[in-house]
Amino acid sequence: MFDSLLTSIPGVASADWPRLATATGVAAMVFLALWAARQLAARKYAQFARTEATEKLEIVSAAASRTTLVFMLLVAVFAGLSAVGFKIGVDGILHSVLAIALFWQAGLWASTALVEWLDHRRKATISEDKAAASSIGIIRFVARTAIWAMVLLLTLDNVGIDITALVAGLGIGGIAVALALQNVLGDLLASLSIALDQPFVLGDFLVVGDHMGAVEYIGIKSTRLRSLTGEQIVMSNADLLSSRLRNFGRMYERRVTFTIGVTYDTPRENLRKIAPALRAIIEAQDDVRFDRAHFAKYGAYSLDFEVVYYVLSPDFGRHMDLQQAINFRIHEEFEAMGVEFAYPTQTLLLSGGAARAMHPGD
């Protein structure tokens, strides 16, 4: 009864079953060897991932650990049948299936290795080269899309589809898709422009119209800013590039201008001393480059001195610390010189010729 069951399989005679048993044993050993190799790669990758350094085998082990069971099973079956020269009626189908599985497995290996390598590059460069780190996410998307598009085309070619005609048809259909998805494609092209031109990078502080914040993430469709008040601002890449943005992250020093007004009854001798005193006060500070201090104009109720200096740091907190120190020193110096700060006043002439100074609120 068993022999009759065996001989009922097309293309398989009872004399072929010892060879089939050998093929099964070979397939089992190949499968176990591949499974053990995948487990070893997964353990090695877990060990490498726990360390900060990037070992050379980490990327290889990460890719090897993504080997699928379907691919290992197909390789084992093909190895077993090839070992004994066993051929059945579906031999051509098995070759095609194995080829397709190899394409997709190779795509998975390449995609995994690419992601691992780019992630390590991003971690390594984010503290040194923020421009390169911010473009890695966009490069990863484009590269993975290219890998899987190639895998799909090879698969279609292997099953007998004319990919030349398909690509030509996609070119015509792509026009309609591009029109329907022009906003999405506009953001995608804008993200590529950001990656190549690098108008800003991660960590830069941007002011775009009424919005401001530090760049937190640069994606395929949008860029996210973290505002000073804590909320996240999401802006499309196309809108961001079409706007006039101010990038304070590229600032290497800060120009500061302020005006001080003194009263009109300040003696001329003291007026001549004010500009040199302001210069001495500013030059006494660290991380500051003095530019100028002048008696600039006659104001509505004060004699105005304009002061310009540079803070040799883009940090806003450092700028405010220095400005505070300068303000205290100016107050001390003016007090020692007997110079009074001006504030809004009005003088009214009464009918008897007497004059009275009026202050706001009187």
pLDDT for position 177: 52
The answer to whether 20 touches 86, Cβ cutoff 8 Å, is yes
pLDDT for position 266: 92
CATH 2.40.30.10 fits 254-337, yes or no: no
Report the relative pairing of strands 211-218 and 205-208 from DSSP bridges.
antiparallel
pTM of this structure: 0.51
- Indicate the helix (H) or strand (E) that contains 202: none
Backbone φ and ψ of 358, nearest 5°? -110, 135
Q: Which residues contact 167 (CB under 8 A, 6 or more apart)?
A: 153
- Indicate the helix (H) or strand (E) that contains 98: helix 91-125
Banded pLDDT at 8 (limits 50, 70, 90)? very low
Percent of the chain with pLDDT over 70: 73
DSSP 13: -
Question: What torsion do the CA atoms of 176, 181, 186, 188 make, to the nearest 10 degrees?
Answer: -110
pLDDT above 60: residue 277: yes
Pick left, alpha or beta for residue 131 (phi over 0 → left; psi -120 to 50 → alpha; otherwise beta).
Answer: alpha
Thinking of the domain 198-249, which architecture would CATH place it in?
A: Roll (2.30)
pLDDT above 80: residue 235: yes
Tell me how far CA of residue 231 lies from CA of 221, 226, 316, in angstroms.
19, 6, 20
DSSP 185: H
pLDDT in tens, 117-152: 777 766 666 655 555 555 666 677 777 888 888 888
Residue type, 66: R
Return mean pLDDT, the chain. Answer: 78
Q: Which residues contact 313 (CB under 8 A, 6 or more apart)?
A: 253, 254, 287, 319
pLDDT in tens, 293-347: 999 999 988 999 999 999 998 888 899 999 999 999 999 999 999 999 988 876 6
Pick left, alpha or beta for residue 361 (phi over 0 → left; psi -120 to 50 → alpha; otherwise beta).
Answer: left
In the numeric block, the tokens 């109720």 are attached to: 301
pLDDT in tens, 158-196: 777 666 666 665 555 555 555 545 566 677 777 777 777
pLDDT for position 86: 58
Per 3-state DSSP, the chain is made up of helix, strand and coil in percentages (nearest 5) of 60, 15, 25
CA distance 215 to 136: 15
Tell me how far CA of residue 190 lies from CA of 198, 208, 238, 249, 253, in angstroms.
11, 16, 5, 20, 29
The answer to whether 262 touches 306, Cβ cutoff 8 Å, is no
Tell me how far CA of residue 308 lies from CA of 47, 63, 279, 293, 340, in angstroms.
58, 59, 10, 6, 21
pLDDT for position 135: 63
In the numeric block, the tokens 């998975």 are attached to: 108
pLDDT in tens, 247-269: 888 888 899 999 999 999 999 99
CA distance 265 to 347: 13
| Signed CA dihedral, 118, 122, 125, 130: sign only | positive
Hey, where are the domains in the chain? 2-185, 198-249, 254-337
Between 214 and 97, the higher pLDDT residue:
214
pLDDT for position 101: 82
The token pair at 4 is: 């009759």
CA distance 119 to 137: 9
pLDDT for position 55: 60
Banded pLDDT at 9 (limits 50, 70, 90)? very low
For the chain, list the strands marked E by DSSP: 205-208, 211-218, 222-226, 232-236, 245-247, 254-262, 288-298, 303-311, 346-349, 355-358
